[in-house]
Amino acid sequence: MTLLPQRAALWGVGRTLLVADLHLGKCETLHGAGVPVPGGVHVEALARLGDAIRVSGAQRVLILGDLLHAPAGNTKAMIDGVAAWRATFPLPMQLVEGNHDRRVREAADAWNIDLLGARHLEQGVLFTHAPTADIGESVYAWCGHLHPAIKLHGGRLPLKLACFHLTPRVGVLPAFSRLTSGAGLRRGPGDRVFAIAEGCVVEA
């Protein structure tokens, strides 16, 4: 795996770009509930995804859950905006469905994204949305869901950075959405943590 500062990872098999937790439609959902957050969050996320595709030379995108945030956020403007972006990046896309991906079929059809269910096993690697206890001894798992972040101390205020958290059995991707708050992590024996800062990935 090559870890990218765009909050994605490139898997060498089929030059597959892995992302998780895009939460498209989150700002639309919050607007509907009267929460004043900036609009157009999905525009920034798609621009960053397009950049990751170009930089990595990816030939496929595999989304590890929570493509969407909630059905209330699936507005026509958001659906149409993502469809227009897909016309620019027509490479194959697949979704391992996450807990937020309710009523995802309509969006997946509009965006030409194949649905793989909740688990996808390929070349001895298991892809899920959330970590699972039944991985099996012969596979390594990649997932999202936890939105890992690490706090760095040393200045006047601690700095919280999105990160990749790799355990001996499971690799956890950072949330692709910048509107999704990162959760603190606990290191275990053999864990490695790679923080994203200033356009680079640094082991922390």
Residue 86 host element (H or E): helix 76-88
Q: In terms of pTM, does the model score above 0.85?
A: yes
Amino acid at position 118, single letter: A
Over residues 98-115, mean pLDDT: 92
- The pLDDT of residue 179 is 72
Lowest-confidence segment of 12-21, 128-137, 168-177 by average pLDDT:
128-137
User: Residue 31's pLDDT band (boundaries 50, 70, 90)?
Assistant: low
- The pLDDT of residue 174 is 96
> What are the extents of the domains in the chain?
2-203
Residue 55 host element (H or E): helix 41-56
- The pLDDT of residue 121 is 95
How far apart (Å, rounded) are the C-alpha atoms in residues 97 and 128? 8
Architecture of domain 2-203: 4-Layer Sandwich (3.60)
How far apart (Å, rounded) are the C-alpha atoms in residues 132 and 137? 13
Percent of the chain with pLDDT over 90: 64
